[in-house]
A and B are shown apart, each in its own frame.
Chain A
Amino acid sequence: MLCKLAFRNVSRSFRDFAVYFLTLAFGVCLFYVFNSIDAQQAMIALSESQKFYVDQMIVIMGYVSVFVAVVLGLLVVYANRFLMKRRKQELGLYLLLGMRRTGVTRILLAETFLIGLFALAAGLTGGVFLSQMVSVVTARLFEADLTSFRFVFSPAALGKTALCFGLIFAVVIVFNTATVSRCRLSELLTAARKNETPGVRSGRLCVVLFLLSAASLATAYLWVLHTGIFTSDLGCQIALGCIGTALFFFSLSGLLEAFPRLFPRFYFRGLHCFVLRQVNARVNTAVFSMSVICLMLFLTISCLAGGMSMAEGFNAQARQQYPYGASLMYTTDGDRKPALSIEGTLRADGIAVDELIRSSSQLDLRRADVRFEDALRFFDAAALIYEDSEYTAEGGDVLARPCILPESAFNAMRRLANQPEVEVGEEEYLLWVKPTMAQYFTALPLSGVTVSAEGRMFTAAGACVTEPFATGLGIGQIALILPDEFAETLPITAQLLNIQFESRQDEDAFAAALDAVYTEERAETATGRNWRPYDILSTQHQMIDSSVSVKTIILFLGVYIGLVFLITSAAVLGLQQLSETADRAESYRLLRRLGAKEKMVRRALFSQITMYVCLPLALALVHAAVGLKALQLSFQGDLPLDILPGAAVTAGILLLIYGGYLLATCFAAQGVIRPRRRE
């Protein structure tokens, strides 16, 4: 009997339950997807180093999931509270008819269970399918092959999801039981009748508060744009932003008071004044939740767009930065003498160089006493671009000791990486700069900047060269490419061997062979010369794996947290609007009686909901624009961030999920105010 009643309740008032259900199902789906990454990697061919990073990612996901579970739990409890509020009268009726409190509790329990079961089923179905797609995306991000596509189901993720949502439902049930047992019957029965007294705020106070809000937001914006986001000031900046946001929503209603005086033509046309007043009243009573939602949306947009942009940044960096299969470097400091050929020494030490290596080239880095004759002008320009004295100081230091590269050997390196060769005349030089600094140096007027090396003068042969000439090795910020006949007379400071391989297997085998030959024991026995012909080895995949893994972790975390917050904000706003509309259904009936056309009434409802839902979004977008700009600035010099593509994808996701919730809310609300009497 109770089950039947519960079942009928759920199916009858499905419209009320719809947003609740949607939220639960989305939550379950997300939770499953991000917890099943563990199992999904079974179908991706990962190298050892990639496995290490994926394992790390899974650990991080585990921690984040706890946080996500708490957020979803709070959301579900909130949505449930909304349902309970809408149904107080119904529950009161059960009690009035003589049903025991335990009976009512049992009905609620059955309903919660029923909804939960359906949502779990729907969410898991969606999650299982979505997680297959996530594996494909993961494989692409790691540039790994899908060994063989097979359908993966993760019982562990299922268990985790079921446990988490089971706990959430338990909390909901406790909450509901408390509500039923604590409430007085008369309160339950009269719950629907509410007397709202919209607080009216003084206009003058609101103007002051609004100015205060604008001031604190502007301060926070400018501050964070000046310092970037990686400073200890970030806490203060965030606090300022929060205060500004809250004050903004607090003072907004007061400003709207002035609206009819300022724009009477607009205000007193159609239902405009009704819509504005309704929105005003809502914002007025929901300052806190508006502010929280706005900040949450800000976080969402930043997580999504920032995560994606950073992932893209790392990606672009990876491709540019590692042009060779492997780079080995040997520094000849002090009494260390340069080996003639690193490759020859490797061969002599028993490494199957000829089988493993496709092609290779060696470049000796040399040193000279260098002076930029017109350095002052040069660095004034650089300082202008950097807009930061710190960089000039660093730049000066860097320019003092650039390494010298002979033209032909440098060109051999470029051939090895399929880059076009460069040309340097007899009395000319070329400036090479680190790729991440390229954007500043390529804009500089090099012509006319003369360089003197060991007393000989050189003029610029052309614009800067920026392609890296090693994989994953730091070789200073700048270098000079000089004619062979001069450069080769200079002392060698370091030797660089770049290698290209036929395949990834060869690359791995080469690295393994070096590891096997140059062990610690050998270091002890080897005498007479340095025990190995290189100090640093760095291979392409080692570099790419680490950058890709960092990027994937950032991306997944960004998307995970972003989506959870997005769903949360959208659901809360949707539920608020629905309950609000239900409470004011009478108003819409009155509008019809006053002769407002059905279309007019509908438009009033939609624009009211849209305005209310878009208000926090609009402010959040401004916040996010500033935040992302600050993020970009913070990475300046290290990682070129292109925010636009990430922002575009985020806009798409926002449109889909937020827009979806908005539409669902509008249509559900339309159902709430549908005229009842007429057929």
Chain B
Amino acid sequence: MEPVLRVRNVEKYYGSRGTVTKAVDDVSFTVEKGEFVGVMGASGSGKTTLLNCIATIDRVTSGHIFIGGRDVTALGERRLSAFRREELGFIFQDFNLLDTLTAFENIALALTVRRTPPEEIRVRVEEVAQRLGVAAALPKYPYQLSGGERQRVAAARAIVGSPSLILADEPTGSLDSRSARILLESLSTLNAALHATILMVTHDAFTASYCGRILFIKDGKLFSELRRGEASRREFFEHILEVVSLLGGEGAHAL
């Protein structure tokens, strides 16, 4: 079966001819359907740039990104917005909920932009909210919600359109540890129960430990890969910490 995401030799350069910064340097990997993949790296490692390229918010300098078999680097602006609408769901660090809309409307927005019939919108929004435990928050405005609830509403918005790929950029970045845990458990459930494919960027080992596979990025290059396999989350967490310490310390020489 065609993998959900296939990244081939992607490069992203910043700057002019004289001073080139390689933010992403020849990165290739694939994500199969139903995977929960984490991308880890220190600040400035290029992980967010990579995510933005996959999210079609940024253009690659060279290389190809296939999502559901389609090469997004070859799509025009018009096709891209349709593509984002149909295939992608986003969760951001700062929630990015519209504070003038209720939680219900915030979630519904992802459906209204693709002109889903109103009756269907209601059913789907309520179902997703139920699954993420924010059904009670639906009629409320974002400022009436806690940080954790807001992020789960954002997650509901990301998955309500059943995208083939959910992209999360530091989703726990501005949450306290309890809210973060609830959110991550929700994501795991979505991944397990609905076979949602999730690609999550983070620099936090605890957050990453909820993933099934971790890609480590350093200075724009893929540094190593870690699979959870049959290990418990705690054991996986230990493994991740080992790699992280390698990344930051001696690893620089090892490569």
Chain A residues with CB below 8 A from B100, complex form: 196, 198, 277-278, 280-281
Contact (Cβ within 8 A) A272 B118: no
Chain B residues with CB below 8 A from A268, complex form: 108, 111-112, 116, 118, 121
Q: Is residue B132 contacting chain A, with contact meaning CB distance below 8 A? A: no
- Residue of chain B at shortest CB distance from A279: B100
Chain A residues with CB below 8 A from B116, complex form: 268
Q: How far is the CA of A123 from the CA of B108 in the complex (A)?
A: 49
- Across the interface, A594 reaches (CB within 8 A) one of B99, B109, B122, namely B109
Q: How far is the CA of A273 from the CA of B141 in the complex (A)?
A: 14
Q: Which of B125-172 contact A (CB under 8 A)?
A: 141, 143, 157
Q: Is residue B195 contacting chain A, with contact meaning CB distance below 8 A? A: no
Q: Which of A644-679 contact B (CB under 8 A)?
A: 677-679
Stretch of B55-63, B196-204, B208-216 lying at the A interface: B55-63
Contact (Cβ within 8 A) B115 A595: no
Contact (Cβ within 8 A) A592 B98: no
Stretch of A168-176, A291-299, A304-312, A596-604 lying at the B interface: A596-604
Q: How far is the CA of A597 from the CA of B98 in the complex (A)?
A: 18
Stretch of A23-31, A461-469, A583-591 lying at the B interface: A583-591
B147 to chain A, nearest CB (A): 13
Chain B residues with CB below 8 A from A197, complex form: 99, 141, 143
- Residue of chain B at shortest CB distance from A265: B118
Q: Is residue A200 contacting chain B, with contact meaning CB distance below 8 A? A: yes
Candidate in A268, A270, A278 with the most chain B CB atoms within 10 angstroms: A268
Contact (Cβ within 8 A) B108 A274: no
- Across the interface, A273 reaches (CB within 8 A) one of B112, B114, B115, namely B112
- Across the interface, A277 reaches (CB within 8 A) one of B58, B85, B101, namely B101
Q: Is residue B82 contacting chain A, with contact meaning CB distance below 8 A? A: yes
- Residue of chain B at shortest CB distance from A197: B143
Q: How far is the CA of A277 from the CA of B111 in the complex (A)?
A: 17
Contact (Cβ within 8 A) A598 B77: yes
Q: Which of B62-95 contact A (CB under 8 A)?
A: 77-78, 81-86, 88, 90
- Residue of chain B at shortest CB distance from A679: B59
Q: Is residue B25 contacting chain A, with contact meaning CB distance below 8 A? A: no
Contact (Cβ within 8 A) A277 B96: no
Q: Is residue B110 contacting chain A, with contact meaning CB distance below 8 A? A: yes
Chain B residues with CB below 8 A from A596, complex form: 81, 85, 113
- Residue of chain A at shortest CB distance from B77: A598
Q: How many residues of A contact B (CB 8 A)?
A: 35
Chain B residues with CB below 8 A from A198, complex form: 99-100, 141, 143
Q: How far is the CA of A200 from the CA of B114 in the complex (A)?
A: 29
Q: Mark A266-287, 1 if CB is under 8 A from B, else 0.
A: 0111111110011011000000
Q: Is residue B52 contacting chain A, with contact meaning CB distance below 8 A? A: yes
Q: Is residue B105 contacting chain A, with contact meaning CB distance below 8 A? A: yes
Chain B residues with CB below 8 A from A590, complex form: 96, 98
- The chain A residues found within 8 Å of chain B, CB to CB, are 195-198, 200, 260, 264-265, 267-274, 277-278, 280-281, 586-587, 590-598, 600, 677-679
**28 sampled A-B residue pairs with Cβ under 8 A:** A196-B100, A196-B143, A198-B143, A260-B105, A268-B108, A268-B121, A269-B112, A269-B115, A270-B115, A273-B101, A274-B101, A277-B98, A277-B101, A278-B100, A281-B100, A590-B96, A592-B81, A594-B85, A594-B90, A594-B109, A594-B113, A595-B81, A595-B84, A597-B81, A597-B82, A598-B77, A600-B113, A677-B52
- The chain B residues found within 8 Å of chain A, CB to CB, are 52, 55, 57-59, 77-78, 81-86, 88, 90, 96, 98-101, 105, 108-116, 118, 121-122, 141, 143, 157
Q: Which 6 A-B pairs have the closest CB atoms?
A: A595-B85, A595-B84, A281-B100, A268-B118, A277-B100, A264-B118
